[in-house]
Amino acid sequence: MDNRADLSDIEAFDSGRVDVEGIDIEELDDGGAFGIVTAESSGDAASLDRRMRVLAELVSAAAAADRLLASVAAARAEAVDQVRAWCLANELAAERDRARRARLAQAAERGLAPDLDSTLDSTVDSTAESAADSEAVSAGVAGTRWDALEIAYRTAVSELACALHISQASASNLMSQSEALTGTFTAARNALATGQISYAHVRLLMEHAASLPEAARPEFEARMLPEAKRLTVAQFDREARRVREKTHPESITARRAKSQSDRTLVFEPAADGMGWLHSYQQLPVAQAIFHRVNDMAASLQGPDEPRTLAQLRADAFAALLIDGVTPAGLGRGIRATVNVTVPVLTLLGRSDEPGHLEGCGPIDPETARELAAGAPSFTRILVHPETGVMLSVGRNQYRVPKDLRRLLVIRDETCRFAGCNRPAARAEMDHTHEWQADGITRYDNLASLCAPDHRLKAETNWAVTQSPGGELHWTAPSGLHYRSEPAIPFEPPGDVADPPPF
C-alpha cells in the first residue's frame, strides 16, 4: 500500500470541516458537532461516539501533517543534493575546459596547426564542451589556488547557508546527510518520503551508521528501519546505540581513542542576559567534573543559604573556572577581554537603555554601568567612538592600523560574511574593494572576515560591496543577493580626508 503523504490527507482540516475556532460553546448543549462533554451529553452513547469520531479526525489530521513534513524533508534532501551535484559537475567541466585551453595555447606556442584541436581535445568529454564560457559559469576566479572539488564544495555550502539562513557548518551537515540519503540510505529516504518515519529518526540512523565501516551500513539500516517505524526518537536512539555497540567490528577502546579528538567546549548565548556552556568530554572526565562541582555546591548548603543546589552548582562552577588554578599553577584570576558598549546616558544614570556585550547582545543597564565603572577585563566604549582614531591610511599602507582595527572589530562584532557568527576579534581585515585593484585602507572599505570566508571571497566568484554605515551587500556565484549588517553601524560625522599620497 502506498502511504505517501499528500495534501488530500489533511483536506478535511484545510477545507474548514474541522473548524475549531468557529465553535459556539453555547450551542453545544448536546455535545455539539465536536462532541463537547456536557452534563446532559456525558452519558449519551451516540454523543460519545460522535466525540470519538471527531477526536479521531483531529488526530488523523495531525498525523497527516506530520507525514507531509516527512515527505517534504525527503524532497529537500533531493534538492540539496542536486545543488551539490550541479556544483561538482560544473566545476569539473570548467576545470577540464581550462586544461583544454591551456593545451591549445601550448600547441600554438609550438607552432602546431589549429586543426589539432580535435586531437588535443580527445580526452575531454562532452560535458567540458558545455563549459566553453567557464569564466562566466565557474565559481572559481582566475588564478584560484583551489581545485575543482574544493570550489564546488565551498560554493554549494555557502550558497545553501545563505539561502536557507543557516550556518555554513549546518549547511555542510545538511549537504552530507542529503548526499547519504540519495545514495547509501535510499531505503530510509523512501520511508521518509512516504511519511513512515520522521527526519529526526533518519538523522539518528545516519549518525549511528556513520561510525560503522561503509560495508556494514546497509545491514545496519535494514535492521534499524523497522524499529524507526515503531519507536519514538528517544527510544530509537537508545536501541540504535545498543545495536551499533553490539555489531561494531572495532572495540570500544579503539573507538574511544578516536572520539577523544572530538572533545570541545561550546558557548551559546541565551535570552535575558544569560548563556550556556556545553562541553563534550570523555565520560569519566565529564562525570568527575560534575561530581566535583556538585560536592562543592553541597558543602555550601546550610540553613542560612538561600540558593538552591542547582544555583550553587552554577556558582561553584563559575568560581572554579574564573578563579581556579590549573595543574601547572597558572590561571588564577585570568579574565578574557570583552568589549562592552554603553550608551552615554546609561553610563551617566540618566537612561535605562541596555548596554551591548560583544558576541552576546543586550545586557541590563545596571550590569552595563558596573562593567564600565570598574571591571578591568572589559574595554569600556561609548556609543560615539572617541575622537582621534585613525580612520584611513589611504594607499599608504596595506596593513590596518591597530586603532582602526579595534574600531572595526567593535563595529562588526562577528565575521561579516552573510550568516557567519565567528568572532570579529579573531577574524582578518578584508579590503572590500581589493587592495590590488586600487582599494584603500579605510574604515568604509574594510570589514572583518574569518579566514575561511576571506579565502572564499578571494578564491570564488562571491562579490561584495560596502555602503555607508558598514552594511555589506553580497552577491553569490548564482547571482542571488544577501545583506550583512554591522552590530554597531558607524559613520563618522563629516568627510574623512585621506592622507596625502607621500
The pLDDT tens digits for 111-122 are 775 554 454 444
Spatial separation of the C-alpha atoms in residues 366 and 495, rounded to whole Å = 36
Task: Report, as an integer, the average pLDDT of 446-474.
Answer: 93
Average pLDDT over residues 379-396: 50
pLDDT tens digit string along 191-249?
Answer: 999 999 999 999 999 999 988 888 889 999 999 999 999 999 999 998 998 888 777 77
- pLDDT value of residue 64: 92
- Identify the residue with better confidence: 218 or 337: 218
Q: Spell out the domain ranges in the chain.
A: 7-73, 265-323, 338-382, 392-484
d(CA 15, CA 458): 53
Give the distance from CA 256 to its chain's centroid.
Answer: 27
Q: What is the DSSP string of 405-431?
A: HHHHHHHH-B--STT---BGGGSEEEE
76-111 residue pLDDT tens: 999 999 999 999 998 888 888 877 887 888 878 777
**How would residue 329 be classed by pLDDT, with cut points 50, 70 and 90?**
low
Which residue type sits at 292? Answer: R
Characterise 494 by phi-psi region: left (phi > 0), alpha (psi -120 to 50), beta (else): left
Whole-number average pLDDT of the chain:
77
For 335, residues 6+ apart whose C-beta sits below 8 A from its C-beta are 322, 376, 377
What pLDDT is stored for residue 332 in this prediction?
53
- How many whole angstroms separate alpha carbon 362 and alpha carbon 168? 25
What is the pLDDT, as a whole number, of residue 131? Answer: 41
Query: Which of 5-19, 86-100, 363-377 has the weakest average pLDDT?
Result: 5-19
Q: Would you state the cell numbers that stand for residue 410, as one nine-digit string? A: 567593535
Between 118 and 443, whose confidence is greater? Answer: 443
pTM of the full predicted structure? 0.66
Provide the percentage of residues in the chain whose pLDDT is more than 70: 70
DSSP assignment of 134-178: HHHH-SBPTT-SS-HHHHHHHHHHHHHHHHHT--HHHHHHHHHHH
Burial degree of 45 (CB within 10 A; 0-12, 13-18, 19+) = exposed
Cell (9 digits) for 205: 540512523
**Separation of alpha carbons 438 and 394, rounded Å:** 10
* pLDDT reported for residue 119: 45
Which pLDDT score, from 0 to 100, does residue 335 have? 52
Report how far apart the first and last C-alpha atoms of the chain are (Å, whole number).
81
Q: 440 and 392 in contact (C-beta within 8 Å)?
A: yes
15 by DSSP, 3-state: which? helix
207 DSSP β-pair partners: none
